[in-house]
Amino acid sequence: MKSVETGSELDGRVNQPSPEKFSGTNRKKPRVLVLASTFPSSIQPIHGVFVKERVKAVAALGEFDLRVMSPTPWFPPLKMFKRWYPLSQIPASETVDGLQVTRPRYLLLPKIGGYYHTQLMKWGIGRSVARLREEFPFDLIDAHFVYPDGVVGAMLGELYNVPVVMTARGEDMIRFPELPVIGNAIRWGLKRASQLVGLSEELAQKMIENGADPARVRVISNGVDTAKFRPVPRDEARQRMGLPLDRKIIIGVGYLLERKGFHLAVEALRTVRERHPDAMLVIVGGVSRWGQDYSAEIHEAIRRTGMADHVRLVGARPPEELYLWYSTADLFTILSSREGSPNAPLEALACGIPIVATPIGSIPQLLTNTTLGLMLPERSAEAAARGFCDALAMTWDREAIRAWSVENSWGSVAKQVAATFRDALREAGEQPPRSSPH
């Protein structure tokens, strides 16, 4: 059984001298510590893929030297706890898609641990950060999710006198600021970040409402890997995936959670079939990382609506297979109640598939371009049915949809992130060191 590092040195350690100022000539590449507890591993390969893809794209620019630290809650290897057992199997260090990743463990207490998440993470990873600092004297911290990683990143930034770039990705700014204890920690961290990124206008505004300096906030949505997600001729894709050639297919991809809205798509399908009797729904996805499972409710919606012959749940599929599922479809749908910058619609667009979506996260920005799909006025089965019917009756230019995706790939996102890093480093070179945290 692996021991848990307390990392108590983090609080007692004297403030380190400021690293050399960033001038573009001191070193060939500034060093960036990526702090991301949400990050893929060999055990959970799809957990946090969107974080990995952005980091990988920035690394591919060749302008920065990056190391990833992915703090992981400690749990004993007890197989009887199916929800938590995988945490014990995640390697302490590994290379993920060419990126060096270390995973220091920290203690996270059930139920009450969430309210003290930042303190527990800070104590747990302290010694690992200190050791990494000796061999990799990072110039900047790139923290993903404002809570807990962003707040911990702000603490480390003050301790080591380095700037912090903090990215808001969803619930960390939509829901968490309203929670006791956690909200105050978030507001503390936002005021101390050097640069802040929201994946959508909504998230950026939430950061400002909670104390972030508007001049430091920018919107950079997620991108898409257009080499991995690419169109395949529809009939070929359907033959490979075992789907009928003569049906109109609406597809949804994601964990089987209530907030993803698959039950609403099922309920909408009954109405859609009155106008499009050849329509069917395909749902690709399984149980979430933390064990949440809404599949029973989805099956109940199928039974209640009589759609058993027209809905197919294919379960979780390997990421490398998803482009084929997208390519089978006439429409992609996402009926979420909340998101940051969801990846699945971008992946569908990269395969040339138009989308029908609820007005959440980055979707309103995305669908100002009406050639990409339709945005629903609200999240309901009735609105979804109208949207599906309208979209199925339209002619979509799939080549133009694909071309838009190529222009909005992860490479484009990486250039915006790199500019954010440069701004943070430039400002840090002009400012006196900050005081150490209390």
How many CA atoms does the CB half-sphere of 40 hold within 13 Å?
17
Reduce the DSSP state of residue 219 to 3 states and report it. Answer: strand
Question: Does position 81 have pLDDT exceeding 70, yes or no?
Answer: no
- Cα-flanking dihedrals φ and ψ of residue 45, to 5°? -70, -20
Q: Establish if 216 belongs to a structural domain.
A: yes
Domain count for the chain: 2
Q: What is the mean pLDDT of residues 385-410?
A: 96
Reduce the DSSP state of residue 151 to 3 states and report it. Answer: helix
Question: How does residue 114 score in pLDDT terms, banded at 50, 70 and 90?
Answer: low
The answer to whether residues 83 and 142 belong to one domain is yes
User: 329-333, 397-401, 433-437 — which is least confidently predicted?
Assistant: 433-437
What is the arrangement of strands in the sheet containing 279-284, beginning at the earlier edge strand?
A: 311-315, 279-284, 248-253, 331-334, 355-357, 373-375
Residue located via tokens 């962003």: 150
Q: Establish if 351 belongs to a structural domain.
A: yes
If one counts every other C-beta atom within 10 angstroms of the C-beta of residue 345, the result is 29
Q: What does the pLDDT read at residue 103?
A: 93
Question: How does residue 9 score in pLDDT terms, banded at 50, 70 and 90?
Answer: very low
Question: How does residue 436 score in pLDDT terms, banded at 50, 70 and 90?
Answer: very low
Structure tokens at 149: 């990683």
Q: What is the mean pLDDT of residues 356-375?
A: 94
For residues 138 and 180, what is the distance between their CA atoms, to the nearest angstrom? 33
- Under a CB-based contact definition with an 8 Å cutoff, are residues 43 and 89 in contact? yes
Q: What does the pLDDT read at residue 25?
A: 43
The pairing of beta strand 373-375 with beta strand 355-357: parallel
The answer to whether residues 258 and 207 belong to one domain is no
Q: What does the pLDDT read at residue 270?
A: 96
Question: How does residue 79 score in pLDDT terms, banded at 50, 70 and 90?
Answer: low
The answer to whether residues 243 and 111 belong to one domain is no
Enclosing domain of residue 164? 9-223+411-430
The answer to whether residues 353 and 418 belong to one domain is no
Q: What does the pLDDT read at residue 424?
A: 97
- Under a CB-based contact definition with an 8 Å cutoff, are residues 73 and 106 in contact? yes
Question: Does position 422 have pLDDT exceeding 50, yes or no?
Answer: yes
Angle at the Cα of 35 from the Cα atoms of 229 and 179, rounded to 5 degrees: 100
The answer to whether residues 299 and 184 belong to one domain is no
Q: What does the pLDDT read at residue 104?
A: 94
Question: How does residue 43 score in pLDDT terms, banded at 50, 70 and 90?
Answer: confident
Q: Establish if 436 belongs to a structural domain.
A: no
Reduce the DSSP state of residue 312 to 3 states and report it. Answer: strand
Q: What is the mean pLDDT of residues 228-234?
A: 96
Q: What does the pLDDT read at residue 325?
A: 98
Question: Does position 377 have pLDDT exceeding 60, yes or no?
Answer: yes
Question: Does position 84 have pLDDT exceeding 50, yes or no?
Answer: yes
72 or 63, which is more confident: 63
For residues 254 and 110, what is the distance between their CA atoms, to the nearest angstrom? 26
Task: Report how far apart the first and last C-alpha atoms of the chain are (Å, whole number).
Answer: 33
Q: What does the pLDDT read at residue 432?
A: 54
The answer to whether residues 195 and 301 belong to one domain is no
For 54-64, write each residue's pLDDT tens digit.
999 999 999 99
Q: Establish if 438 belongs to a structural domain.
A: no
Q: Does an H or E element contain 11, and which?
A: helix 9-12
The answer to whether residues 196 and 240 belong to one domain is no
For residues 137 and 121, what is the distance between their CA atoms, to the nearest angstrom? 21
3-state helix, strand, coil in the chain (%, to 5): 45, 15, 40
Give the CATH number for residue 277. Answer: 3.40.50.2000
Question: Does position 21 have pLDDT exceeding 50, yes or no?
Answer: no
The answer to whether residues 247 and 204 belong to one domain is no
Question: How does residue 170 score in pLDDT terms, banded at 50, 70 and 90?
Answer: confident
Q: What is the mean pLDDT of residues 283-288?
A: 89
| Dihedral sign, Cα of residue 95, residue 98, residue 104, residue 107 | negative
Question: Does position 266 have pLDDT exceeding 70, yes or no?
Answer: yes
The answer to whether residues 289 and 357 belong to one domain is yes
The answer to whether residues 207 and 307 belong to one domain is no
Question: How does residue 85 score in pLDDT terms, banded at 50, 70 and 90?
Answer: low
Q: What is the mean pLDDT of residues 293-310?
A: 95
Question: How does residue 393 score in pLDDT terms, banded at 50, 70 and 90?
Answer: very high
For residues 323 and 226, what is the distance between their CA atoms, to the nearest angstrom? 10
Q: Establish if 435 belongs to a structural domain.
A: no
164 or 362, which is more confident: 164
Q: Establish if 334 belongs to a structural domain.
A: yes
Question: How does residue 237 score in pLDDT terms, banded at 50, 70 and 90?
Answer: very high
Which residues lie below 8 Å from residue 430, measured CB to CB, with a gap of 6+? none
For residues 147 and 12, what is the distance between their CA atoms, to the nearest angstrom? 23
Structure tokens at 164: 């912090």
386 or 4, which is more confident: 386
Question: How does residue 107 score in pLDDT terms, banded at 50, 70 and 90?
Answer: confident
Question: Does position 88 have pLDDT exceeding 80, yes or no?
Answer: no
The answer to whether residues 39 and 185 belong to one domain is yes
User: 54-68, 74-88, 165-179, 343-357 — which is least confidently predicted?
Assistant: 74-88
Question: How does residue 435 score in pLDDT terms, banded at 50, 70 and 90?
Answer: very low
Q: What is the mean pLDDT of the chain?
A: 88
The answer to whether residues 121 and 90 belong to one domain is yes
